[in-house]
Amino acid sequence: MNPYLSRRQVLTTALAASAAATWPAFAAAPGPSLNDLAKATGRRFGSCVGTGRPGTLTGSFADPAYRDLLVAECGLLVPENELKWGALRPAADVFTFDRAEKLLAFAKDKGLAFRGHTLLWHHVKWLPDWLNSHNFGSDPVKGVEKMLTDHVAMVAGSYKDRITSWDVVNEAVDADTGLMRETAFTRHVPAEKVLDITFHKAREVLPKGQLVYNDYMSWEPGHAKHRDGVLRLLEGFRKRGTPVDALGVQSHIMVVDGGPKYEEAAWKRFIDEVVGMGYDLLITEFDVNDKGLPADIAARDKGVADYARAYLDMMLSYKQTGDILAWGMVNKYSWLQGFTPRADKQKQRCCPYDDAFQPTPLREAIAASLRGAVKHG
């Protein structure tokens, strides 16, 4: 998605820490859970969760009401930051799995599945500093390959019996140009080769796993070059025999005042081309940015819900669309509050539940789209 690892940089301006006694209780929405509705169509519904400091944007896991909400509504979880290079690998020879293990233990205890995110975030801004200045040795081509394959073997291999769906590569296409991003790896190896090495090693480690390329191209204006770049990448994967099973469509969508501001026909052509190449689809990081709407909460909630319903109805009209994951279930824990705040200083209402853990109209919009979805598969 858009660079959300920066959430670690906005913790101090995010939310004031709260004592556990002040956390509100979760109020279940009436009727079937979102995961039950998804299961009826052959899918699962889930959410990200983070182990940041209590009371911060990334601290949702510390909140017992949030954990209860995950259990009530979700069938699978994905870590917000815990399996990214920056959180997992503080130095070339150091891996820290403790935060990810905490989430996996919770998921196992509650009978929830778990997705992996991400084996390679191919964006120099969000790779650790040590990697960006790393010396790959006298044979840097081999050094790059070893760095990538060792990382995949260690991380995917450590979880191969517990995580079977991975965002193997995240955001390798520059949204402004449609070209491949450059990183420390591409100083020595072409970007396409970097990705191929990563996917081939992931297939070796996970012969039956779901291997996903994940990106934030959108149906909104200004994304044409991004969409075209992703299509070229996916076409290249097929031509080279790169083992990629699905496109992760992050789905960070943004609603603005004054009616629909999306390119439905262009988006449909994009999705048609993706599935025409034999790829499955996942909705991996769904939320709705409301900063383009007026302050009135009722108007915002309706605008968000209507926009989400139009988007999800379209995406769920494809049998190739599988699991759906929200990038957060409760407004106050959304990365959007820190990364793209509203000009009027009000909190974004971007998630299925509000700060009091009450379901929002967005929650019903998601439910309605799931009820009308075609069967997956």
Count CB atoms within 10 A of the CB of residue 254: 20
Per-residue pLDDT, 24: 65
Amino acid at 327: W
Per-residue confidence (pLDDT) for residue 26, from 0 to 100: 74
267 or 18, greater pLDDT: 267
* Dist CA 131 CA 123 (whole Å): 11
pLDDT, residue 40, reads 99
Domain residue extents for the chain: 22-371
- Under DSSP, the state recorded for 90 is S
Selected residue with higher pLDDT from 341 and 30: 341
Q: How far is CA 22 from CA 44, 105, 194, 349, in A?
A: 32, 26, 48, 21
- Distance, in Å, from the CA atom of 312 to the CA atom of 262, rounded to the nearest integer, reads 13
Which DSSP symbol is given to 70?
A: H
Instruction: Please tell me the predicted confidence (pLDDT) of residue 274.
Output: 99
The span from the CA of 64 to the CA of 78, in Å, is 17
Nearest C-alpha neighbor of 315 from the set 260, 264, 261, 245: 264
Joined tokens for residue 201: 């090693």
DSSP strand E in the chain: where?
A: 45-49, 76-79, 113-114, 116-121, 165-170, 210-215, 246-249, 252-256, 280-292, 321-326
Q: Indicate the SS3 state at residue 289.
A: strand
Please, are residues 171 and 215 in contact by the beta-carbon 8 Å criterion? yes
Q: What pLDDT band is residue 28 in, cutting at 50, 70 and 90?
A: confident
User: Using CB atoms within 10 A of its CB, is residue 109 exposed (0-12), middle (13-18) or buried (19+)?
Assistant: exposed
Q: For the residues 30-59, what does the mean pLDDT come to?
A: 96
Q: Is a pLDDT exceeding 70 seen at residue 263?
A: yes
Instruction: State mean pLDDT over 145-164.
Output: 97
Distance separating alpha carbons of residues 68 and 65, to the nearest angstrom = 5
What is the rounded CA–CA span in Å between residue 129 and residue 317?
A: 42
280-323 pLDDT, tens digit per residue, is 999 999 999 999 999 999 999 999 999 999 999 999 999 999 99
Q: How far is CA 240 from CA 22, 145, 199, 244, in A?
A: 55, 18, 12, 11
pLDDT level of residue 25 (50, 70, 90 thresholds): confident
Residues in the chain: 377
Q: How far apart are CA 64 and CA 68, in angstroms?
A: 6
Question: What CATH number matches the domain at 22-371, 3.40.50.1860, 3.20.20.80, 1.10.1670.10, 3.40.50.300?
Answer: 3.20.20.80
